[in-house]
Structure 1
Amino acid sequence: MIKVCIFDLDGTLADTVESLAYCGNRALEAMGLSAFPTDRYRYFAGDGSAELVRRCLRENGDLECQRFDELSSLYGAYFAKDCMYHVKPFPGITELLKWLKANQIKISVFSNKPHEQAIDVVESLFGKGYFDYIQGQQEGIPRKPAPDGAMKIASYFQVPCDECLYIGDTNTDMQTGNAAGMNTVGVLWGFRDREELEENHAKRIVNTPLEISAMLEKEFLKPAQDTRRSK
């Protein structure tokens, strides 16, 4: 039985690609570097802000990331101010979350976004206290795909990892959930495609949030069958 759903944030709960591109491109332009189309940030994102900065630099020809500190500082400053730029929940997410709450399934977030920004985005979109637990990137917790943060969430709720559903849109998410021994669900409304999710062993792949509630209702919320023979 599933007792906890752990959601990735960017590309799973929220469409954040415009905010990433807006902040990333302003930082690049401030340094005299080339900006990128918004859609390119679907592939820059997913592994934390430091990796996004490195990918932007490499795409600009700085293969050794010699200007990492400069771009990282600029990007961090822009993002701290504008992390909510054009951010919105994906269609169907709000309805899924309501269904999970109605069925007494705990909801949580595990993101490679810096912890304070992760809280800011989640609470701005869904309200303070709506999620039962939010875990962003912070000191002492390795960023995904290390499973530590996901396992910490399971421990917080005092449930075994195999009673958690881990929901995300990238290879990093599937690697994280699988490494933690959780049930992984790859979503196709986010930043990556089916091939990437399949190659990284998503146990399920869904096209819409509604499919998650339908799957849970059908497979994980059934009452145990009484196999005793009637006397």
Structure 2
Amino acid sequence: MKRPSLFVFDLDGTLVDSRSDLANAANAALKGLGLPTLPNETIISYVGDGIDALIRRCLGPDHEAAFPEAKALFAEHYREHFLDNTTLLPGVLETLRALREVSQLAVLTNKSEPYAVKILEGLGVANLFSEIVGERDGQVPKPDPAVLKGIMERLNTSRNETLMIGDGKNDILVAKAVGCPSCLIADTVEKERALAPYGPDIIIHRMNELPNLFEEP
């Protein structure tokens, strides 16, 4: 396979393990509202569609009215603790450095953009990316194709020269929406079984497999 000119990465679960910090912030919000906290595994299963969706799923339909206060409590906690436990996933740093030698790199995430930038800066890899694009006011999140199209246009790459890499269905669907190939990172058999039906073009199990998939330029 020819090496893409542009690699676009999801963030949470693809480049970084932020599960503990997200779960702690969500439970801090629930506790602040006097609601029962949730197991970390439950909260983590709600990640992928942005903070608003995460908070609403944690609240459930019976407590939807508490969403504004819950979001404020979540933000208050996360602002102070978003890098307490968040780390780069294994193989990410080496892979990014290898790919960056010959291709452009970008991040497209449904996480709030300021947090995405701060996390990557805090972990020392923000300078490896030509663009870091996250959730913004008025912007439709993945899998809507508009933001990915914008990244490709600004970095002067076509859909055939772009690869979208992620660990969720939205990463596969946004790639299909713009007509570029996608790579699913499935670190468990269960994840591969659940997401393979969405039709990723490539499936890998560890990030460090990625550079070896392509012909030398």
Give the TM-score, by structure 2 length: 0.93
Q: Which amino acid aligns with 1:94?
A: L
Residue 16 (structure 2) pairs with residue 14 (structure 1)? yes
- The alpha carbon displacement at 1:64 in A equals 6.2
Partner of 1:226: none
Matches within 5 A, 1:14-93: 14-58=16-60, 62-63=61-62, 65-93=64-92
Q: Which amino acid aligns with 1:183?
A: P
- The alpha carbon displacement at 1:143 in A equals 0.7
- The alpha carbon displacement at 1:185 in A equals 0.5
Q: Which amino acid aligns with 2:31?
A: E
- For 2:208 and 2:177, the matched residues in 1 are separated by 26
Instruction: Give the conservation status (yes or no) of the 8 Å contact 2:109–2:134.
Output: yes
Instruction: Give the conservation status (yes or no) of the 8 Å contact 1:197–1:205.
Output: no
- The alpha carbon displacement at 1:196 in A equals 2.6
User: SS of 1:166's equivalent?
Assistant: strand
C-alpha RMSD over aligned residues: 1.6
- For 1:204 and 1:97, the matched residues in 2 are separated by 18
Partner of 1:97: 96
Instruction: Give the conservation status (yes or no) of the 8 Å contact 1:54–1:68.
Output: yes
Unmatched segments (≥5 aa) in structure 2: none
Instruction: Give the conservation status (yes or no) of the 8 Å contact 1:96–1:213.
Output: yes
Partner of 2:161: 163
Residue 200 (structure 2) pairs with residue 202 (structure 1)? yes
Change (3 A) 1:128 1:96: closer
- For 1:136 and 1:87, the matched residues in 2 are separated by 17
User: SS of 2:45's equivalent?
Assistant: helix
Aligned residues: 214
- The alpha carbon displacement at 1:63 in A equals 3.8
Instruction: Give the conservation status (yes or no) of the 8 Å contact 2:100–2:128.
Output: no
Partner of 1:227: none
CA shift digits 1:171-202 (9 cap, x unpaired): 11111111121110010138x71123212211
